[in-house]
Chain A
Amino acid sequence: MKIEDYNSAPAKTEKEVTVKDVLGDKKQSSLFGEFIKTQPGGQDRAERLFKGESTTDDMQKLAEQKEQFFERQKEVEKISKAFTPEFISKLAGQSPKLEILVKNGGVEGVHGAIVSQLEMLAMREPVRFYTMVDSYNEVLSKADIANEQIKKICELHGITSGEYLKILASTSDEAERQTKLGDMIRGNMGKVKGMRQKTIEKNKAIRDQEVDIESKDIDYKFEIDKLRANYDQELENVGDVLAVSINENASMKKAFMDSLLSEKAPKEEPAGGFKEMRGVMPSEENMKQEWDGQWKEAQVKGTSRGDFEKTYVDGKLGNKKGTWSDIVRKFIMTSVSKF
């Protein structure tokens, strides 16, 4: 937030900026209005404020909320700086859909769209904003640490994922590669699950077993060699699939992620999610007919076009929030703006 935007000379410190100052700035006032609507009792308070009917209690509450509003703005500023064109490009490399978006919209265009709208999103839908912040932190965290550990394991044990590389080299048919790689990856992924626990138990049993050199029934060295060979084989299987997880080859990356995610439980649909939008979008033809009828009535009552558009679209989506609700709202809003 820029304190100097408040047209005060000298610039006020954040503490000195009053609610009146905030409301006197068009952009800040609009953002603050959206912010307070999300606070308990905020919808009514915002209405009283913009009608000039605020109570003393309202003003006291607004003064407190002003501080939280500034805090939110600082968080927006911080994350806006993190969403650089470089970060967006990197992310697009990990998401085919974002890759299409960046290809068509250009990385600078995508960056501009994000930065220009993030502040309003943060004020209007804080849950979505903080989910983005959490996701960003998740993307940044720990990934490189695991990759470094895997590289060391591969170096130490001479692991090269040879069998996987042979598949890559054996065919240039991508579908065939994906099938063969996927089969092998899933097989070895299955071996990784629960292996640590099984090995802990086996190790304990081996450690606790007394070696009786005089025993005529057991050839201990032979048994140990057998176990050793078995452990080496398991280590190679796990190491191979770990090496695949850090392989930069596009076919390998795709096969690995597809295999990994195929076993994941489907995520729960959030409120305002994709499926919740079914039945919400009327055909434009039906909408036009409905609109014409309702708009005539609204005009008789003296409702402005802007207010009617908002009421009409709200009627289609209710209080649904979330990404898909937002997108569908834009489609309906753009459509009715032509009527």
Chain B
Amino acid sequence: MANDFSALYSQFKEIIETGSEDQAEKFLAAHINEFPEDMQQGITLALFENGLKEVATNQATMQDFQQEGINAVHELEKGNRILDDKLKILDLQEKI
């Protein structure tokens, strides 16, 4: 276990110094079973916490986009109704 942990320590240190947050999280998740028990628990909570935050942020971005799109669709639908009304007026005027 001691040697295994030393290898994990070195690899993780390398990612911290030169890698990205995403790489570090993937490394920890992939090696979760190789850490001592008490570390596994703490890392799992931290990864869950980051994942939850990320999903929530992505979802909020998605909802903002969807809402913008839905509002645009409603306005275009309104535009089509206005154009239909104009056509009806034209038809009536032609008949008069």
The answer to whether A and B belong to the same complex is yes
A interface residues (Cβ-Cβ under 8 A, vs B): 83, 88, 91-92, 94-98, 100-101, 104-105, 109-110, 113-114, 116-118, 121, 128, 131-132, 134-136, 138-139, 142-143, 146-147, 149-150, 153, 189, 192-193, 195-196, 199-200, 202-203, 206-207, 211, 213, 220-221, 224, 227-228, 231-232, 234-235, 238-239, 241-242, 245, 257, 260-261, 264, 267, 273-274, 277-281, 283-284, 323-324, 326-328, 330-331, 334-335, 338
Other A-B pairs, 8, CB within 8 Å; known A200-B75, A324-B24, A327-B28: A95-B54, A100-B26, A105-B33, A117-B42, A195-B75, A281-B12, A284-B10, A330-B38
Neighbouring A residues of B79 by C-beta, 8 Å: 199, 202-203, 206, 227, 231
The answer to whether B90 touches A221 (Cβ under 8 A) is yes
Q: Hey, what's the 0/1 contact readout for B11-42 against A, CB within 8 Å counting as 1?
A: 01100110011101110111111011011111
**What is the CA–CA distance of A239 and B66 in the complex, to the nearest angstrom?**
10
Most buried by A among B67, B68, B73: B73
User: Does B61 contact A88, Cβ atoms closer than 8 Å?
Assistant: no
Within the assembled complex, what's the spacing in Å between the Cα atoms of A334 and B34?
A: 13
Once bound together, how far apart are the Cα atoms of A191 and B79, in whole Å? Answer: 17
Partner of A105, one of B2, B32, B50: B32
B contact residues vs A (CB 8 Å cutoff): 2, 5-6, 9-10, 12-13, 16-17, 20-22, 24-26, 28-33, 35-36, 38-63, 65-80, 82-83, 86-87, 89-90, 93-94
Residue of B nearest to A94 (CB): B55
Residues of B close to A278: CB separation below 8 A = 16-17
Taking CB atoms, residues of chain A closer than 8 Å to B24 are 274, 324
Inter-subunit contact A118/B69 (CB<8 Å): no
Contact B45 A118 (CB under 8 A): yes
**Which chain B positions have C-beta within 8 A of A264?**
61
How distant is the Cα of A110 from the Cα of B30 in the complex, in angstroms? 13
Once the chains bind, are A121 and B45 in contact (CB under 8 Å)? yes
Chain A residues whose C-beta falls within 8 Å of the C-beta of B22 in the assembled complex: 97
Residues from chain A with Cβ under 8 Å of B78 in the complex:
199, 203
Q: Is the pair A91, B55 in contact by a Cβ cutoff of 8 Å?
A: yes
Q: Which residues of B contact A92 (CB under 8 A)?
A: 51
Contact of B5 with A91 in the complex, beta carbons under 8 Å? no
Task: Jot down 11 A-B pairs with beta carbons below 8 A, ordered by A.
Answer: A91-B55, A98-B51, A117-B41, A117-B42, A135-B56, A203-B75, A211-B90, A220-B90, A235-B80, A242-B69, A326-B42
- In the complex, what's the smallest C-beta–C-beta distance from A99 to chain B, in angstroms? 8
Q: Which residue of B lies closest to A209 (CB)?
A: B86
Question: Would you call B44 and A242 a contact (CB within 8 A)?
Answer: no
Question: Are B52 and A277 within 8 A (Cβ)?
Answer: no
- Report B-chain residues with C-beta under 8 Å of the C-beta of A224: 83, 86-87, 90
Among residues of B, the one whose C-beta sits closest to the C-beta of A136 is B52
CA distance A279 to B18 in the complex (A): 10
Query: Who on chain B is nearest to A109 by CB?
Result: B44
Question: How far is A314 from B72 in the complex, measured between Cα atoms in Å?
Answer: 54
**CB–CB B76/A213 < 8 A:** no
Complex interface: chain A residues within 8 A of B82 (CB): 203, 206-207
A238-B53 in contact given A121-B45, A261-B58, A327-B43 (Cβ < 8 Å): no
Contact call A113/B40, Cβ cutoff below 8 A: yes
CB distance from A219 to the nearest CB of B (A): 10
Which residues of A sit under 8 angstroms from B43, Cβ to Cβ?
Answer: 327, 330
A142 to B66, CA, bound (A): 11
Which residues of chain B come closer than 8 Å to A193, judged between CB atoms? 68
- Interface contact A114-B48, CB-CB below 8 Å: yes
A200 neighbours in B (Cβ, 8 Å): 75
Q: Name the residue in B30, B67, B79, B90 with the highest tally of chain A Cβ atoms < 10 Å from its Cβ.
A: B79
Complex-state Cα separation, A150 to B24, whole angstroms: 37
Complex Cα spacing A153 to B76, Å? 12
> Known interface pairs A97-B26, A101-B48, A117-B42. Does A149 touch B32 (Cβ–Cβ under 8 Å)?
no
Contact flag A113-B26 (CB < 8 Å), given A105-B32, A135-B53, A196-B72: no
Chain A residues contacting B56 (CB-CB under 8 Å) are: 134-136, 138-139
